[in-house]
Chain A
Amino acid sequence: MPAVPEGIAEHAAILRSDARVLAECAERLREIEARLEAAGVAPPWLRTSMEAHLAACAAASDDLTQAAATLRHYAERTRP
């Protein structure tokens, strides 16, 4: 079992990685929508939904980045 600061730092690293994943998700969502629009098969409601998801992914990515940064700082402060 990792020591306390290392444990917190591990969480921070995972969240930092997740923030990147969320940003990639936003990019994938944009591509999916574009693909369906280009093929002319996108349902009329899709754009609104996808825009909401995109914005949420971007915001979630920011939140996770922020959480990772505060955790990293927290881990530093708890080192003996």
Chain B
Amino acid sequence: MSGEKDGDAALLRAAARELADIGVMIREASVHATAALTEGAALGAVARAPAAGCLAQRALLRAVTNGRGLGYAFSGGVLGTLAAKLGAMVGGESLAVRVLATSLRLRIAAVALDHPELTGDPMLARLVEAAAADRDLEAVRALRVLLRDRGAVRTLSELAPVFGEVLALRALLDENPLNDATAWLIATGKGYATADPITGMSNRAIAVLDTGEGAARRVDLAALESARLSRSGSLLGFLRNISLLGTTGRILIQSVEGQDGVTRHIVQAPGMQAGQPDNDSPQDLLGAFSSAVLDSSPYSRALARAVDDYGLPHGAELALVGHSAGGAAIMNLVQDAGFCARHTVTHAVAVGSPIDFKRPADPRTWIASVTNQHDIIPTLDGQGAGGCFDLHPDWYVVDYSDPTHLFPLCHGIEHYIANLADDLPEAHARIDGQLTPYQGRVVRSQAYQLFDRAPCPEGFPFLTVPTYPAETPGGTIELPVRCQDGGALTAYFAAEQGAAADLLKGTGLGPAVRLAGRALVVVHASWNRRTSLGAYREVHLGVVVPDPWRPGSPRVWPDLPRGADRRRSGSFMAGSIVDTGLACAVAPRLWGGEPYMAPVEFELTDRAARVAVGGLEDRLLVLSGSLGPWLPASDRDLVGYMRSADATLRSCVRTSGPGRVHPAPRVRLTVGQAAHPLAGRLRELGLDGARPLLCLSTPVRQTLQDACVPVPIG
């Protein structure tokens, strides 16, 4: 039964192919007639033989406009193309277009033999028929009914096998002249769809928005990922690796020692990332588009750079395996003569990829394409299940259908793996058989993160500074400490002046900066999420002090917002908490003090903050509540002073990141019952239950913190 169906479908496809040929011939005749009518030879000689000239012109005009003959058939040349577009806008149709439309309808009929739901389902059939007959209003109504009844995903999935044909039919018959060329290409199989078949917007124009020379950086896989990598070469192993990488912008290159003792290499390229259509990865939507439409794309160029970096020996054999956009990208390498001259590309396997119009540079490269007929992605180049042209007689093409009709589910790499493993044993065995030289022990695996263009170093330019090794009780560290990603909250309180003065006694600093007769005290908390010391949180209590050499100067207030390099005032550090051993060990080098170790919680959102120090049983402090309205402000550097046994030490934290000033914060500081020296100090300062005068918050920032410096005071 299936064989009979296959035979019937083959007959219909053969007929569709012949009709497409006939359509092309009719169009050529139209081009010739248009040329005779519009070119200079015939027109220019009318004066010599006006009567004969006019007769000839009239006969030619009739030939290219006779609705019972060639139809409205202007074609080719500047005038012909212009006349054709104008004609299309008023519904002028040529015989060539009508014949091609019949070819496309035969293609749909062929697909319907394998997918009886397309004609058996009244809703689908109504839509397909209306679209094919250029009955717009009815098509829109049918689509609306389908969408309401089945939702967008199911509708798209069910239409997928004939998606290209239906769109091409519409484009051929509608009044939009911009999509005619694409429809022609789809209908005749002469090239990839150069434009969106609905709007006519140029695919190439969109694809060229995806710019970049491509870049690749080595990255380590997470331990769990490394453990799950395929240890031996096989088709399913490579595809599972692609699944493991996910759509994270990464690719994998592996080396396999074959049974003949030769080491060969395999590039494994996943598909498109979900999310922003254009980000810094070539695996974004634009990248997928450009990989399919253009001969070279940032994705394929980044792949080439990864291969270069991997360091293949001259003449080493290479296989390329890709899914979705990854398949299109590897095929761009296959058709890159330069790449193929540098490397011996023996195999390329593309799964769920639009690659019909890729042309290998080396005819010896063995190519396999695996596509699910309900997967729309491979049809984006215009050729899908209904294709009637044998575009690649020398490729191994597996175009199959399974009961899962849902897109995007049927496009997923996991679904293709399951199909190949369970439903397509012959195809699986055939491809694996071809990949025999690549079966063996994996001897090297290297993942790469790909980029549209070489990324600037993280934190550039703020964190691009000279570094030097420094010995600390925690071991050798690099200074300055660089924080690539952190957040901070600084709360200014009005505190008991006497208690503040007690803290400053004997330090040579002070008196504390005053506000309405009270001392200005600061509680600073930060979560340094990614730093050269690892992640850690810290909380500091400081008494704001003026310039140690001009303690009475009235210029203290203008000095407070200055950058650290010009600020003379600062905070005397009256107690610090950190939550990691390394940060604790390094602290004396950074700000001179010896902090306490305790758990620190730090949460900061646009509206609220919560900082908690100590565990539930021995809570030291909690600063939490609404931050209230805010104004934008640049983040403020921090300057700290500390008294050591024989010197006063000045420390700086330079910051970069957008900050916020909260002039009316509703947060409250609650000091816990813990018998901790810092809790005692906070209570003495009268801060238990206090609200800050002002808060500064920075949800995202970078910081640089160098060693503290002794300053001679007193």
Contact = CB atoms under 8 A, between A and B. Distances in A.
Interface of A: 2, 4-5, 7-8, 11-12, 14-15, 18, 21-22, 25, 28-29, 32, 35-36, 39, 41, 43, 45-46, 49-50, 52-53, 55-57, 59-60, 62-64, 66-67, 69-71, 73-74, 76-78
A15 B59 CA distance: 11
Given A15-B36, A22-B29, 14 more contacts: A5-B45, A8-B41, A12-B36, A18-B33, A28-B22, A39-B8, A46-B106, A49-B98, A56-B95, A59-B69, A63-B66, A66-B59, A70-B60, A74-B55
Interface string B49-84: 100110110111011001011110000000000000
Contacts of A14: 32, 36
5 contacts: A8-B56, A14-B36, A57-B26, A64-B63, A77-B48
A60 B11 contact: no
Interface in B92-108: 95, 98-99, 102, 105-106
B22 A60 contact: no
What does DSSP make chain A's interface, helix, strand, loop or mixed?
helix
Contacts of B597: none
A38 B58 CA distance: 42
Contacts of B58: 70
A59 B66 contact: yes
B15 A63 contact: no
A8 B69 contact: no
* The 7 nearest A-B residue pairs measured at CB: A7-B41, A77-B49, A60-B69, A18-B29, A11-B36, A59-B69, A63-B63
Contacts of A59: 66, 68-69
Contacts of B25: 21-22, 25
B22 A67 contact: no
B42 interface: yes
B36 A60 contact: no
A66 B347 CA distance: 56
B638 to A, nearest CB: 79
Contacts of B45: 4-5, 8, 74, 78
B41 to A, nearest CB: 3
Contacts of A52: 98
Nearest to B19: A32
A56 B69 contact: yes
Given A18-B33, A41-B12, A53-B102, A71 B26 contact: no
Interface of B: 8, 11-12, 15, 18-19, 22, 25-26, 28-29, 32-33, 35-36, 39, 41-42, 44-45, 48-49, 52-53, 55-56, 58-60, 62-63, 66, 68-71, 95, 98-99, 102, 105-106, 109
B235 to A, nearest CB: 36
What does DSSP make chain B's interface, helix, strand, loop or mixed?
helix
Contact of A70 (B18, B52, B106): B52
A55 B99 CA distance: 12
Contacts of B28: 18, 21
A46 B53 CA distance: 41
Contacts of B95: 53, 56-57, 60
A73 B106 contact: no
A56 B30 CA distance: 13
A13 B8 CA distance: 41
Contacts of A77: 48-49, 52-53
B66 A60 contact: yes
A60 B70 contact: yes
Nearest to A21: B25
A53 B32 CA distance: 20
B26 A22 contact: yes
B56 A63 contact: no
Given A22-B29, A71-B42, A78 B49 contact: yes
B60 A60 contact: no
Given A11-B36, A18-B28, A74-B55, A60 B63 contact: yes
Contact of B69 (A7, A62, A70, A78): A62
Contacts of B39: 7, 11
Nearest to A12: B36
Contacts of A25: 22, 25-26
